[in-house]
């Protein structure tokens, strides 16, 4: 079976500062990563801050530079080579792959109504042509994301964190993408709301036939929603496999130390952290 | 005897939209050498409660006249009755210290860490500069910072996230406070670093014998650190008691809801159960039990919709905001 997204040997580097002579030193945020995301899967990408998980997610959406390697998106009818897309292809690709942001307080413009927020991608990407079409599409997607249709005329400040994240998800899904990159999309939410948003993502996956790349630092959340997990550390994927296998039988020391560090809800149960020598991200040049 | 007694604490804020109640009728004690966990979601009033202990809330804060925060000692002091900054000084940073969620924001960026540690010691103790420096370096070493003498002369941006939080803890402890308030001290940290900071704090409790008020939204962190826990929602304590008792046999529907909403690593097939509804706006506080609007266990027309339930003792030392017939 052809994966929806295939990443081969991807490296993303960023220059650090400038030099008068010669190229500046480069920081390799992602180093030689290969990963395939099958169609209809819920793939988790876990790691601590600085592990390169966000950079990898952004590279798939052509939002970070691809230094080496190749990313291809293929849904059977369309095929894009992310690194070498033309402007027209890129515009087309935007309707196929979208991002859900972490902080629903920062992601929504306070000056736009909920209806306009959800309608913006439809208008920008030229998906709907008339106002009636746009409104119909907005109402359809808002209903799917369990947003009260009465609320479409209000501004974001009137909503709680959970409601805002639902609006943010509706905006992401408005253009009808096949692939959704969710970058820490529940990290800023309270636990009682977090469960609601995770259930909604699962429901939408069934309804709209979505494929997710779910980026998170929280292993217990990943364990619950993802069917495949990749663990990143210092720009490399150190371990990957089906969720159950990774959680039942972690192989890499880093995965073990991550799992052991999760505070247990039982006050009398306390696993020792596996000793793990931390490294640093390499800078070359 | 308790170290600190908080009695009927009610805090309101003056805003353009009128008075907003942030904390209502909150009472608890902290015993010497005890870790009291204060859990709640955003907007539950846990930070406002903690800041009140040092009068750190803003100018628009109104404390209800019946509210009392008594720091027991020789003599007892009612913190809320202190009006002058001069009187607050021995308490703020002396008897009570506080560490915050974001250590980068708590240090001044343009002064070395050492200079800031020495400065606060000179304010709160009669130490000379040399003594203060010696104690600070000793404390940095104690919290597990390698090469403390070199680190003493560095700036915060040269520290890693975990190291910054350790330095904060070191700084808060040099004045030997009787109570340490830790406001989400591990929330911004990665899990492996979080575990190290939790371990460090537990060691320090044994070494220094101080009390800690530990504020967090993470029940797992509470389970690993606290002796007793108080669960807050919309400014009220809904349940409090020994940590094992509360987490294993929660009496209040809100505590049960919080525990059910957490992903369980031991049972990956269990569905995630959110608490129904959204947190009401502080401008529209529900009458009766503040949680009744989201409590699916209540029958329509129950007493909880109109009357505020008292704190009833469920088991020895374990209280919940329930009417006696439901205990």
Kindly provide the ipTM of the predicted complex, given to two decimals. 0.80
Q: Among B144, B198, B222, B272, which would you mutate to test the A interface (most chain A Cβ atoms within 10 Å of its Cβ)?
A: B272
pLDDT digits 0-9 by tens, B232-262? 999 999 999 999 999 999 999 999 999 999 8
pLDDT of residue A39: 94
| Shortest CA distance from A157: residue in chain B | B281
Q: Taking CA A263 as the corner, what is the angle to CA B244 and CA B207, rounded to the nearest 5 degrees? A: 75
Q: How many whole angstroms separate alpha carbon A201 and alpha carbon A181? A: 12
Residue A131: burial class (beta carbons within 10 Å; 0-12, 13-18, 19+): exposed
pLDDT of residue A272: 46
pLDDT(B286) > 50: yes
Average pLDDT, chain B: 91
Instruction: Report CB contact under 8 Å: B243, A263.
Output: no
Predicted confidence band at B27 (pLDDT cuts at 50, 70, 90)?
A: very high
| Shortest CA distance from A48: residue in chain B | B190
| Shortest CA distance from A280: residue in chain B | B160
What would the mean pLDDT of B205-219 be, rounded to a whole number? 90
B67 Cβ contact list (under 8 Å, min separation 6): B7, B8, B9, B10, B11, B80
Instruction: Report CB contact under 8 Å: A220, B263.
Output: yes
Write out chain B residues lying below 8 Å of A247, CB-based: 265, 268
Q: Which of A190, A191, A220 sits opposite B265 (nearest CB)?
A: A220
pLDDT of residue A155: 94
Instruction: Report CB contact under 8 Å: A273, B274.
Output: no
Q: How many whole angstroms separate alpha carbon B258 and alpha carbon A191? A: 7
Q: Are strands A236-242 and A228-233 parallel, antiparallel or unpaired?
A: antiparallel
- Nearest chain B CA: its distance from A159 CA (Å): 9
**C-beta atoms surrounding B269 within 10 Å:** 6
- Nearest chain A CA: its distance from B127 CA (Å): 38
pLDDT digits 0-9 by tens, B159-193? 988 889 889 999 998 888 999 999 998 887 888 88
Residues of chain A with pLDDT under 50: 272-273
Q: How many whole angstroms separate alpha carbon A209 and alpha carbon A101? A: 20
Domain ranges of chain A: 5-95+223-284
**A214: DSSP letter:** E
pLDDT digits 0-9 by tens, A58-74? 999 999 999 999 999 99
Give the domains, in start order, of chain B with CATH numbers.
4-95+177-326 (3.40.50.300), 96-176 (no CATH)
Count of alpha carbons within 13 angstroms of residue B160, beta-carbon side: 12
Among residues A185, A184, A180, A232, the alpha carbon closest in space to that of A204 is found at A180
CATH code, residues A5-95+223-284: 3.40.50.300
**C-beta atoms surrounding B64 within 10 Å:** 16
- Nearest chain A CA: its distance from B123 CA (Å): 37
Among residues B39, B43, B25, B24, the alpha carbon closest in space to that of B247 is found at B39
pLDDT of residue A1: 67
Write out chain A residues lying below 8 Å of B272, CB-based: 194-195, 198-199, 224
pLDDT digits 0-9 by tens, B59-113? 899 999 999 999 998 889 999 998 888 888 888 888 999 998 887 888 999 999 9
Give chain A's end-to-end CA distance (angstroms, integer).
Answer: 41
pLDDT of residue A277: 62
What would the mean pLDDT of B29-42 be, rounded to a whole number? 93
């Amino acid at each position: 079976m052809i994966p929806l997204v295939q990443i081969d040997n991807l490296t993303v580097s960023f220059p650090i500062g400038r030099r008068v002579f010669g190229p500046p030193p480069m920081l390799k945020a992602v180093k030689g990563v290969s990963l395939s995301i099958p169609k209809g899967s819920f793939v988790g990408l876990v790691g601590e801050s600085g592990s390169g998980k966000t950079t990898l997610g952004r590279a798939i959406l052509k939002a970070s530079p691809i230094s080496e390697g190749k990313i291809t998106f293929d849904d059977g009818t369309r095929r894009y080579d992310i690194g070498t897309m033309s402007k027209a292809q890129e515009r087309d690709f935007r309707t196929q792959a979208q991002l859900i942001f972490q902080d629903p307080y920062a992601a929504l413009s306070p000056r736009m109504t909920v209806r306009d927020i959800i309608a913006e991608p439809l208008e920008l990407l030229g998906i709907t042509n008339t106002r009636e079409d746009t409104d119909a599409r907005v109402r359809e997607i808002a209903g799917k994301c369990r947003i009260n249709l009465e609320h479409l005329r209000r501004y974001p400040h009137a909503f709680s964190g959970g409601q805002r994240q639902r609006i943010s998800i509706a905006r992401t899904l408005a253009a009808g993408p096949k692939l959704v990159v969710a970058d820490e999309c529940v990290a800023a939410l309270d636990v009682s709301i977090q469960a609601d948003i995770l259930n909604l993502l699962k429901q939408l996956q069934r309804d709209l036939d979505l494929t997710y790349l779910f980026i998170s630092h929280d292993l217990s959340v990943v364990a619950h929603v993802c069917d495949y997990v990749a663990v990143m550390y210092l720009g490399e994927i150190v371990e990957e496999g089906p969720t159950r296998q990774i959680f039942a039988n972690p192989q890499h020391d880093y995965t073990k130390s991550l799992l052991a560090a999760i505070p247990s809800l039982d006050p009398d149960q306390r696993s020792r952290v596996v000793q793990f020598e931390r490294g640093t991200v390499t800078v070359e040049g | 005897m308790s170290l600190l007694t908080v009695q009927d604490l009610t805090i309101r804020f003056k805003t353009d939209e009128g008075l907003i109640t942030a904390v209502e009728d909150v009472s608890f004690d902290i015993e010497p050498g005890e870790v009291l966990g204060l859990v709640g979601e955003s907007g539950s009033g846990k930070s406002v409660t903690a800041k009140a202990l040092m009068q750190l809330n803003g100018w628009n804060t109104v404390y209800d006249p019946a509210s009392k925060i008594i720091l027991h000692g020789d003599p007892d002091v009612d913190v809320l009755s202190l009006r002058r900054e001069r009187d607050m000084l021995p308490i703020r940073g002396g008897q009570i210290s506080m560490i915050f969620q974001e250590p980068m924001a708590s240090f001044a960026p343009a002064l070395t860490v050492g200079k800031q540690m020495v400065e606060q010691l000179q304010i709160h103790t009669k130490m000379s500069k040399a003594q203060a420096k010696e104690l600070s370096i000793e404390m940095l070493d104690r919290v597990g910072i390698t090469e403390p003498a070199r680190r003493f002369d560095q700036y915060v941006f040269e520290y890693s996230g975990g190291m910054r939080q350790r330095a904060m803890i070191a700084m808060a402890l040099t004045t030997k406070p009787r109570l340490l308030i830790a406001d989400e001290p591990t929330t911004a940290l990665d899990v492996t670093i979080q575990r190290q900071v939790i371990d460090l704090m537990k060691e320090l409790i044994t070494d220094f014998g101080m009390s800690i008020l530990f504020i967090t939204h993470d029940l797992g962190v509470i389970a690993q650190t606290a002796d007793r826990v108080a669960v807050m929602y919309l400014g009220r304590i809904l349940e409090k008691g020994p940590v094992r008792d509360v987490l294993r046999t929660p009496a209040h529907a809100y505590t049960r809801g919080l525990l059910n909403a957490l992903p369980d690593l031991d049972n990956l097939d269990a569905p995630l159960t959110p608490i129904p509804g959204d947190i009401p706006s502080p401008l529209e506080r529900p009458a009766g039990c503040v949680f009744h609007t989201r409590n699916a266990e209540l029958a329509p027309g129950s007493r909880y919709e109109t009357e505020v339930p008292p704190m009833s003792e469920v088991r020895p030392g374990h209280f919940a905001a329930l009417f006696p017939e439901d205990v």
